């Protein structure tokens, strides 16, 4: 299994999207990209930890490519809004790809460049691409939040 980590706003809907992809073995929502060890939801919501709400995806690269996961990531949010997705505002809702290998970094940068050149968006893509660091698992009530409530999407 390989790992991929994506931040695209509120992690509930992003997690639900990745769980639908054949070849994804598991998803975990949590917090990454910040400086506080063992961050909690309350910590992250303060806006002072530097964390993003993110989804850690474990996937079988023989069944689904990292490039396919990148496609889902780009489809699930607006990568041109800085620190905002829909009604959610704050740096914890930023658009980010946290790569786990040089190959993932190259693929992420190439896909971002292709999307930017496509003309799909009139504004610049603000998605950060950075090395994966410590990942703090979110509280249990956040895990598979929408699925537990019989919902497929947030909005």
Just list the catalytic residues.
Answer: 10
And the tokens for 79? Answer: 């990568």
Q: State how far the Cα of 100 lies from the Cα of 114, in Å rounded to an integer.
A: 21
Is 116:124 a contact under the CB 8 Å cutoff?
A: yes
The H or E element containing residue 84 is strand 84-85
From 105, 88, 87, select the one nearest 96 (Cα to Cα).
105
């Amino acid at each position: 299994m390989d790992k991929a980590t994506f931040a695209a706003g509120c992690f509930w809907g992003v997690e639900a999207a990745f769980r639908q992809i054949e070849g994804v073995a598991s998803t975990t929502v949590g917090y990454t990209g910040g400086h506080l060890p063992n961050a909690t939801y309350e910590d992250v919501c303060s806006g002072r930890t530097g964390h993003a709400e993110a989804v850690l995806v474990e996937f079988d690269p023989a069944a689904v490519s990292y490039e396919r996961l990148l496609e889902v990531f780009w489809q699930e949010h607006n990568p041109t809004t800085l620190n905002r997705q829909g009604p959610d505002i704050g740096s914890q809702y930023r658009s980010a790809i946290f790569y786990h290998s040089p190959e993932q970094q190259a693929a992420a940068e190439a896909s971002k460049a292709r999307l930017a050149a496509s003309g799909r968006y009139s504004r610049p893509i603000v998605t950060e691409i950075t090395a994966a660091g410590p990942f703090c698992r979110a509280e249990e009530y956040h895990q598979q939040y929408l699925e537990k409530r019989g919902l497929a999407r947030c909005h």
